[in-house]
Chains A and B, each alone.
Chain A
Amino acid sequence: MPDVFDLLSLARVDTATFKAILADERKVAEFGLTSAQLEAIKKMDPNHLRLIVDAIEERLRVGPVAGTNACPGTFACIGGRPAERIPR
């Protein structure tokens, strides 16, 4: 079953579909949103969302994952700031 995160993903990658879903109560129900979530999503600006997710992507990109899906192996789990230890 899709969830709120899937809907947020749609808001970024397919804004037209996202808006169509929000306009259709039956389709919205498929995402299992609470009323508070729905209200918050309706108020959200997709452009703002895009900026935030872009920034998150960048953090993940320069972090220990660096697109490899590999264990960071840098003892990032113990401490320090892994993003600073991994060269871009």
Chain B
Amino acid sequence: MNSNNISDPYHSFNLATFIITYKCPISCPMCFFACGPDREEVLSKDLALDVLEEAKDLQIPAIGIAGGEPFFHMVLMRELIKKAASYEMTIIVVTNAYWATSQDAALRKLRDLKELGLQRIQISLDDQHQRSIPIERVANAIRAATELDFEDIKLLGSSKGNSEKFKYQLLYLEEFLAVSTVNIDLIDRARTSHRYFEDQEQARYSFDELEHADSLGLPVKRPGDCLSEMMLDVNGDVYPCCNNFVGRIGNVYADRLRRILENLCFRRYFRIVKEDGPFELARYLDKTQNTNFSKRRYGNWCELCARMFQNDRFRDLLTYECPVTTDDRADNHCHTTPLMRVLGGHNQ
């Protein structure tokens, strides 16, 4: 990737996802943004391109373009792909393939995007989407992406109630629609949604079990490197994760992206989660804020984080500052403050 900048010390984000619209042909109950046919919100083109340029300067190597359904806004999507390709960034589009009404239609759309620089595509395949999107359209999109030799094609299964049916949807693709999925990655999305609090079946692990899942040999895994994806929401909010359950870190209408990311050095709770995961923060909130996060059961790490930040009191916790020295700011460098000092510095 071309960049005039030196290695950026402020963040470790590997992916910036642009939620370009909330409009979608369907309304799925597990949707992070409650997207649907009546939603008209669209990310401003100027803002999107501006943030994209900043992301490039900040050496974020990949972008995702998602929604809602990004194919509803082809002009914006094309602009983003073209620009990101000129920056030599990896580009991923996430879609439900509603537009792939025929093999020819799918080929036309994807050829156009590929010529602009799109290399990777992710297609939703699950109970909710397939209630409205015929699976044949998913097949058309896969065939087209395969024929056009996309670098990476993924099928995203998802969420509640999907675990059984996903297998048979894949079977249907393979056996009935003759679409080989051998070279396609299958990903089951996290079981988190605005309704997941009602989904008690997933609350299988105690707080302690979750924290020590590796040593206990439990089949739940730490979600990789926490807070290393960022997401730009339609309204300009920036989240340090792939979803909007975690707390916001800023808004690009109010601040430049660079400034938002630079400031992360001084965001005490961001650093706690980044450096130690969500457990220390949960214990701290229990101790000081009369919460009971450490007494609950969870399905996975992400759920713990989501439960904390879905609480209105903690929605903007990641933007709180921690004590830093003048030297810290002077050399624009994040000196690690021992966790307990950071916690001890909090006074509520």
Q: Which chain A residues have a beta carbon within 8 Å of chain B's beta carbons?
A: 3-6, 8-9, 37, 40, 44, 49, 52-53, 56-57, 59-60, 63-79, 81-83, 86
Q: Does B242 contact A (CB under 8 A)?
A: yes
A60-B167, A69-B188, A76-B185 given; 14 more Cβ-contact pairs under 8 Å: A3-B130, A5-B130, A49-B171, A53-B171, A56-B186, A63-B185, A64-B188, A70-B300, A70-B302, A73-B225, A73-B301, A75-B224, A78-B15, A81-B185
Q: Evaluate contact between B92 and A52: CB separation under 8 angstroms.
A: no
Chain B 63-98 against A: per-residue CB contact (8 Å), 1 yes, 0 no?
A: 010000000000000000000000000101000000
Is B191's beta carbon under 8 Å from chain A?
yes
Q: Is the CB of A69 within 8 A of B224?
A: no
Known: A53-B171, A79-B120. A70 touches B190 (CB 8 A): yes
Q: Interface size class for chain B?
A: 35 or more
Q: How far is the CB of B262 from chain A (nearest CB, A)?
A: 23
Going nearest first, the 5 A-B pairs with the smallest beta carbon separation are A73-B223, A73-B224, A71-B190, A70-B300, A65-B188
Residue in A72, A73, A86 with the greatest tally of chain B CB atoms within 10 Å:
A73
Residues from chain B with Cβ under 8 Å of A49 in the complex: 171, 175
Q: A26: shortest Cβ distance to chain B, in Å? A: 23
A-B contact pairs, 11 of them (CB 8 A): A53-B168, A56-B174, A63-B187, A67-B219, A70-B191, A70-B301, A71-B242, A73-B301, A75-B224, A77-B187, A79-B151
B62: shortest Cβ distance to chain A, in Å?
5
- Taking each of A44, A64, A66, A76, which has the highest tally of chain B beta carbons within 10 Å of its own beta carbon? A64
A71–B300 touching, CB < 8 Å: yes
User: Which residue of the partner chain, among B15, B163, B185, B186, contacts A69 with CB atoms under 8 Å?
Assistant: B163
Asked whether any CB of chain A lies closer than 8 Å to the CB of B103, the reply is no
Closest A residue to B131 by CB, please name it.
Answer: A3
Q: Is the CB of A68 within 8 A of B168?
A: no
Cβ 8 A contact of B164, one of A3, A9, A66, A69: A9
CB distance from B227 to the nearest CB of A (A): 11
Docked CA distance A76–B185 (Å): 9
Contact call A56/B92, Cβ cutoff below 8 A:
no
Contact of A9 among B152, B168, B170 (CB under 8 A): B168
Partner of B221, one of A44, A70, A79: A70
